[in-house]
């Protein structure tokens, strides 16, 4: 069974440019998460979806970050415009529900120059 | 505020048991203890979780003290592939009332040949 798929794995952009990350969760998983992980730190939740509804986006910087999960399957996380401080690993995870085991993708490593 | 306290780093010899401690002195009666690990350049991976009783699965054992204020994750026969950052997390894990995972900085475990 395929795990959580993320693309791209690596992205290098200049500041002020837009960038988007894509996530395909495990089939049948209704809950999808986007996490941000800075170097040397644990992951921090940005947003959680239950099907297509964003039920927890309290940590998402809404001035420059946006996310969508059309049709309740794949999800896209966007940053526009990117800042130097956005350099980090962006992780996607999915689970059957919030109380169930979370399965993480490999992440996208973003470098903003 | 962090709900758990873990050592920053630990070393263990290959083939020996690795015992990773975690303090969670303010744990509530309905909070579970979860362990995840993150191997370099990968997303976190679920290991085990428990409420009161000790738990064992194919990956590890979880020993929770009687007062539930601390726990130990045991990798019985550590291999080089167990080198990773190990996160101890406490949260309400019931399906209906589950809380989100909040990662700390974890313990960087190095298995030495």
Indicate the burial class of B93 (C-beta count within 10 angstroms; 0-12, 13-18, 19 or more). Answer: buried
Strand partners, B91: B32
Distance CA B72, CA B64 (A): 7
List all residues 6 or more positions away from B99 whose beta carbon is below 8 Å from its beta carbon: A98, B91, B92, B93
**pLDDT for A1:** 65
B93:A99 CB<8 A: yes
Q: Which of A42, A44, A107 sits opposite B87 (nearest CB)?
A: A42
B41 vs A: CB within 8 A: yes
pLDDT confidence of residue A99? 82
Q: Do A93 and B104 touch (CB under 8 A)?
A: no
Q: B-contacting residues of A 24-53, CB under 8 Å?
A: 40-45, 48
pLDDT at position B5: 94
Please report, for chain A, how many H helices and E strands are present, in that order: 0, 11
Strand segments, DSSP code E, in B1-113 are 9-13, 18-23, 31-38, 45-50, 55-56, 61-64, 70-75, 84-92, 107-112
| pLDDT tens readout for residues A23-79 | 999 999 999 999 999 999 999 999 999 999 999 998 999 999 999 998 889 999 999
Mean pLDDT of the region B52-76: 96
Q: In this predicted structure, what is the pLDDT of residue B96?
A: 61
What residue in A sits closest to B93 (Cα-Cα)? A99
The pLDDT assigned to B107 comes to: 98
């Amino acid at each position: 069974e395929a795990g959580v798929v993320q693309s791209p794995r690596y992205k290098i952009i200049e500041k002020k440019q837009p960038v988007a990350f894509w996530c395909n969760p495990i089939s049948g998983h209704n809950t999808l998460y986007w996490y941000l992980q800075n170097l040397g730190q644990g992951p921090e939740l940005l947003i959680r979806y239950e099907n297509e509804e964003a039920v927890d986006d309290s940590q998402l910087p809404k001035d420059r970050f946006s996310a969508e999960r059309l049709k309740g399957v794949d999800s896209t996380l966007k940053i526009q415009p990117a800042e130097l401080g956005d350099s980090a690993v962006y992780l996607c995870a999915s689970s059957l529900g919030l109380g169930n085991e979370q399965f993480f993708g490999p992440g996208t490593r973003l470098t903003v120059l | 505020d962090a709900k758990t306290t873990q050592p920053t780093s630990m070393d263990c010899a290959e083939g020996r048991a690795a015992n990773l401690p975690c303090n969670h002195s303010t744990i509530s009666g309905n909070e579970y203890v979860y362990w995840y690990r993150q191997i370099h350049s990968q997303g976190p991976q679920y290991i085990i979780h428990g409420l009161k009783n000790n738990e064992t699965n194919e990956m590890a054992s979880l020993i929770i003290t009687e007062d539930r204020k601390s726990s130990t994750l045991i990798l019985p026969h550590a291999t080089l592939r167990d080198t990773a950052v190990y996160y101890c997390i406490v949260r309400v894990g019931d399906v209906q009332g589950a809380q989100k995972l909040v990662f700390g900085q974890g313990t960087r475990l190095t298995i030495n040949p």
